[in-house]
Amino acid sequence: MASHLVLCVVAFLAWGVLGHGPDYEQSCENRSWTLDGGDLEVMSWHIHYLENISDFARFREEFIAHFRHLFPANGSAFGTDCPFGPNYASTTHPYMCHIPGECKLSVSSSCPFPVPQEHFSIPVQHVSEAWEFARKIQGFVTLMLHPNTGCQHDDHLKRITWLPLPGQKSPGVASFLGFPCNRPGTGCNDSAVEPNGPPQCGCTDELPHADPDRSCRNCIPMYVEAGQSEAFVLTCTDAPLKAFFGVRGLNLQSGELHCGNMFKAGDLQVPPNITHQHVTEGAFYVLVMLGIPGASSPSKMLAQGGLTRQWIVGNIASADLRAGNFEPAMTVSPYSPPDNSAGTMTSVLLLFEQPAGPIKFQLPTSLAGDATTGEAWDPDSWNHRGFLRRHGVGTNQLAANWFAAYPSDI
């Protein structure tokens, strides 16, 4: 069974994470993942270790020591722990990280297991080696592996692999649970929206897994379809774009973006300070900030572009970009903060080099309604790739970062 799983995982990685975008208009009911010929994409994996608490520390330390180069660098504010909770499944977090088993049956009826557990979040490209090593050092813990597709109910029941101790049965999962995120490609940071509550993304009711309209409102797109044919995946580059808001994020995070920080929308009325050091002397750059509507308005994702235009600054000189000084640059489209009344919004910052130097950018007023270019300026349905092509800028970003904005009443 275990060797067959490893082969399947390798086959999945060969298939490719970006091959097919999930359909956000449908529920998770009767949906299958790409390993079974379906369309649900795996965004990340979880390896759980359960039951024998006395062996937890040994397993955890051996696992982290072996893969230390794949965990956040020493000095990270969260150490080797994940900067998010167990319902977060983004493709963007490039590291392995540890999620403590804080859910206690005596406190919450939403705990997914009847026994103690902890787990690791694993990026898709490292799952095969991670699972193989976990089996090697199993010791006296029960192991479990499952994917994160956004359809959490079936991820924990139908797409799950147990490796119990010899001669023992697996503890199983509580099948009656209403997992909070059950729309393909979504997840949430429950530790951010409800720091002292159960891991339900801020929701208190049991949610039927087949009904996407009752997924928790704090579930946000982690893998989204942008436009009619091209997939758009939240990502942070190896050298992320440095961005800093003058406010602290939710869960007492700093104002610096770290690939998915959570903020209150009402606190983001002024644009972040942007810097990037990996630039070419004498070159010019364009910054694009776009928004991805939350799960509460999925139809926008499938409109042309499916993205909202929030900010464009062009002709940023390399020296000014290093210093974070945008005054000499050209504001092509002024900063538009996340709408506090529009539900959860994910905002992405993308930096591109202008290969031919300064550009005479066409402003929104001169392009309004111009559908022939494939780059209409409707702010609620914006094709950023069309904008870049029209101005001779490639669509391969130099640097990227992103954050999520929640309504201020959460």
- What global pTM score does this model have? 0.57
Split into its structural domains, the chain has a count of: 2
> Which three-class secondary structure state does DSSP give residue 313?
strand
Residues 159 and 274 in one domain: no
Q: Which of 187, 219, 251 is the last residue of a domain?
A: 219
Are residue 193 and residue 206 in the same domain, yes or no?
yes
pLDDT at 9: 40
Alpha-carbon distance of 263 to 407, in angstroms, equals 9
> Could you give the CA distance from residue 331 to residue 315 in angstroms, rounded to a whole number?
9
Q: Do 30 and 167 belong together in one domain?
A: yes
**Are residues 36 and 58 both part of a single domain?**
yes
Q: Hey, what are 209's tokens?
A: 């897994």
pLDDT, position 305:
39
Residues ≥6 apart with Cβ < 8 Å to 387: 288, 312, 375
Enter the tokens of residue 109.
């009826």
> Is the separation of the CB atoms in 96 and 120 below 8 Å?
yes
What DSSP character marks residue 240?
Answer: P
Are 341 and 257 part of one and the same domain? yes
| Token representation of residue 275 | 């810097």
In which domain, by residue range, is 382 found?
223-406
CATH code: domain of residue 356:
3.90.280.10
Q: What is the CATH number of the domain that holds 205?
A: 3.30.70.1240
Q: Give CA separation, 125 vs 53, 122, 131, in Å.
A: 29, 8, 12
Q: What is the pLDDT of residue 313?
A: 96
Do both 188 and 301 map to the same domain? no
The string over 266-285, giving b where at least 16 C-beta atoms fall within 10 Å of a residue's C-beta and e elsewhere, is: ebbeebbebbbeebeeeebb
pLDDT digits (tens, 9 = 90+) for 237-257: 777 789 999 887 665 567 888
Residue 369 zone, left/alpha/beta (φ > 0; ψ -120 to 50; rest): left
φ, ψ dihedrals at 333, nearest 5°: -140, 120
**pLDDT reported for residue 385:** 75
Question: Could you write out the DSSP letters of every residue in 379-398?
Answer: TTSB-HHHHHHHTT--SS-S
Query: Looking at residue 294, what is its pLDDT?
Result: 54
How does strand 242-244 pair with strand 273-275? antiparallel
CA distance 296 to 220: 9
Please say which residue of 204, 219, 234 terminates a domain: 219
134 and 261 inside one domain:
no
Check whether residue 157 and residue 101 sit in a common domain: yes
pLDDT at res. 325: 96
194 and 58 belong to one structural domain: yes
- Residues 191, 247 within the same domain: no
Low-confidence ranges of the chain (pLDDT < 50): 1-25, 105-109, 194-195, 224-231, 295-305, 366-376
Q: Are residues 290 and 241 in the same domain?
A: yes
**CA of residue 391 relative to chain centroid, distance:** 29
What confidence score (pLDDT) does residue 55 get?
Answer: 95
The residues facing 46 across adjacent strands are: 121, 146
Domain boundary among 219, 254, 285: 219
Angstrom distance (rounded) from CA 274 to CA 323: 9
Q: What is the largest CA-CA distance in the chain?
A: 72
Both 366 and 315 in one domain: the answer is: yes
Q: Average per-residue pLDDT in the chain?
A: 75
Strands of the sheet with 345-354, listed across from one edge: 261-264, 399-406, 345-354, 284-293, 308-317, 330-333
Q: What is the pLDDT of residues 144-181, one digit of tens each?
A: 999 999 888 889 888 999 999 888 888 877 655 567 88
